[in-house]
Structure 1
Amino acid sequence: MAEITAALVKDLREKSGAGMMDCKKALTENGGDVEASMDWLRTKGLAKAAKKADRAAAEGLVAGKIAADGKTGVLVEFNAETDFVAKNDGFQNAAREFADVALATDGDVEAIRAAKTSKGEVVQDAITNLIATIGENMQLRRSAKLSVSQGAVSLYLHNALGEGVARMGVLVAMEGGGDVAKLQDVGRKIAMHVAATAPLALSTDELDPEVVAKEREIQTQTAMESGKPREIAEKMVEGRIRKWQEEVVLLKQPFVMNPDQTIEQLVAETAKETGAPAALKAFVRFALGEGVEKAPEGDFAAEVASMTGKA
């Protein structure tokens, strides 16, 4: 009988898509013969994952969780092929479980996949077994974690499909030594704003230089096409770039619940109300299936406005 080595288990796992323990059992049952083990896994319905792996998974859920102390929050995106599966209790429970695991790790998606659930099952193995049970390709696509030393991290889930799961999730980290409940409330309102406006960066300093350069060139070419010499066009562009930044930088954006006030001004007002310094440190926005073929998103700005009577 061939020795069941880690390399042999890894080989079978890659070929079959089945869980590590299932692969080890299959090899043990079949004397280390990989082909026979593949057949064994197929008869048990555990090799379905491999056949699904090349199918697009743009549906599913975004799961979010805030730690008990309110200072850390996580988002995970768990994808499947159809929105029907997103309504499955087993799928939703798995997404919530993976968010719990994310809180216990550094938030990196690879670390989550390698970690164990509360039931002692490796997350990637749990996904593989769920694929075999439900019959669709699935993947834990991405994750994020925000923390503050003092203050609060707030979570907003848009288009919720169940407790802690939705089609979009936003985390906002508010740092400050004042009233934590106030910081949580303002953070959640800003998270709703982020869901509506999809800012590119927190501040102008954090904008991707390549994105800025591309926008500058577009605005320059637009000005030149109107007949202006390049040197004149470039001067005109500075004003246009500032206006563009107001549209895409979170701190510069008009607050959707009060357009007369920018997010930066809202944070400053919050600091005055709490009697302590307050700062918006970071945000994360996960819209289900971003970067993967998907249906268009709804008009979140209109929805947020309707929630607050500002429509």
Structure 2
Amino acid sequence: MNSIIDKIKDLRSITGLSIADCKKALVNNNMDIEKAAKDLKILGLNKASLKSQRSTASGQVSLLISKEKKTAVISEVNCETDFVAKSKDFLIFNDEINNYFINEKNIQENTLILFSDSKILPEIIEQKRIDVVAKLGENIVLKRLYKITTEKQFLTGYNHTINDLCKISAIILTNNNILEYENLYTDIAMQVAAMNPKYLSKNNIPNEIIENESEVNIKKFIKENVLLEQDFIKDRSLSIKNAIVNKFEIINFIRFEVGEKIT
């Protein structure tokens, strides 16, 4: 017969919960691991419920792009502290989210999904969330997600990481996927992450903005907020449109930053 230490070890490997929680569950269930695991699952649900109102100011964004560069998921997962955001279990949860949704067919594509009380997580992801909340002791939420699918374009991503925290992720869609331009695709995605453009081209700027600004202010606004008109961060003598001319076209871009206001 396994000793209580062995059973606690086995139960911790199943649930990820503390030694004290596992020992208590085993004692309460006459050392039956299966019954103890069920009790701990309920305990995890209760812990998640108690923490659900706590503020989640930290977290990470992440992305996953398929090998053929035709499908991608970009997501933001929030927690309470940077310490937890850097933890292995939190990062694994992020990966599980992206892997699930990149393969999930029954989900809105090419549109932003906000996960609030009105948008319930799939059961398998919600259970993983409950488990990681119980294990790490903080409120953890999937705030938003964007799944991109394309037939004719190609996807390239960039993660901006500081102090082991990915706070900004960006994806660009281009009209081709040529090995010669692989670094340039990534540089443009990095540009989106670093310079936070609001529009792809001048044609995307709403008329009311143009009408309410002076010519001088509009020129400055365009230079700062339109991706194709921005100075290329890798070569300030070039604009983005000049850096990619006769090479490829940028069709669209998506950018997530932890904690940013969603409009």
TM-score, length of structure 1 as denominator length: 0.62
Give the 3 Å change call, closer, same or farther, for CA 289–65 of structure 1 in structure 2: same
DSSP 3-state at the match of 1:47: helix
Give the 3 Å change call, closer, same or farther, for CA 43–102 of structure 1 in structure 2: closer
Give the 3 Å change call, closer, same or farther, for CA 161–182 of structure 1 in structure 2: farther
Higher helix content, 1 or 2: 1
Q: How does 1:1-150 map to 2 (within 5 A)?
A: 44-105=43-104, 106-107=108-109, 109=113, 114-115=121-122, 122-150=124-152
Query: Match for residue 188 of structure 1?
Result: 186
Contact 1:146–1:282, Cα closer than 8 Å, also in 2? no
RMSD between aligned residues = 2.8
Aligned counterparts of 1:154 and 1:255: Cα–Cα separation in 2: 17
Aligned counterparts of 2:77 and 2:216: Cα–Cα separation in 1: 41
Aligned counterparts of 1:110 and 1:128: Cα–Cα separation in 2: 19
Shift of 1:75: 0.8
Give the 3 Å change call, closer, same or farther, for CA 42–144 of structure 1 in structure 2: closer
Query: Match for residue 238 of structure 1?
Result: 215
Counterpart residue type for residue 83 of structure 1: D
Query: Match for residue 31 of structure 1?
Result: none
Is it true that 1:198 corresponds to 2:196 in the alignment?
Answer: yes
Is it true that 1:174 corresponds to 2:174 in the alignment?
Answer: yes
Contact 2:114–2:143, Cα closer than 8 Å, also in 1? no
Deviation track 1:180-229 (CA, whole Å, cap 9, x = no partner) reads: 3234432211011112211111122323455x26xx64x5xxxxxxxxxx
Aligned counterparts of 1:286 and 1:208: Cα–Cα separation in 2: 22
Aligned counterparts of 1:191 and 1:171: Cα–Cα separation in 2: 6
Contact 1:173–1:187, Cα closer than 8 Å, also in 2? no
Larger Rg: 1
DSSP 3-state at the match of 2:167: strand
Shift of 1:58: 1.9
Give the 3 Å change call, closer, same or farther, for CA 168–110 of structure 1 in structure 2: closer
TM-score, length of structure 2 as denominator length: 0.72
> Where does the alignment leave 5 or more consecutive residues of structure 2 unmatched?
1-38
Counterpart residue type for residue 70 of structure 1: K
Contact 2:44–2:133, Cα closer than 8 Å, also in 1? no
Is it true that 1:282 corresponds to 2:252 in the alignment?
Answer: yes
Aligned counterparts of 2:74 and 2:228: Cα–Cα separation in 1: 22
Query: Match for residue 13 of structure 1?
Result: none
**Count of equivalent residues:** 216
Counterpart residue type for residue 236 of structure 2: P
> Where does the alignment leave 5 or more consecutive residues of structure 1 unmatched?
1-39, 116-120, 220-236, 271-277, 293-311
Deviation track 1:246-283 (CA, whole Å, cap 9, x = no partner) reads: 2110011111111121111222142xxxxxxx320111
DSSP 3-state at the match of 1:149: coil
Contact 1:147–1:153, Cα closer than 8 Å, also in 2? no
DSSP 3-state at the match of 2:243: helix
Counterpart residue type for residue 59 of structure 2: G
Query: Match for residue 17 of structure 2?
Result: none
Shift of 1:69: 0.7
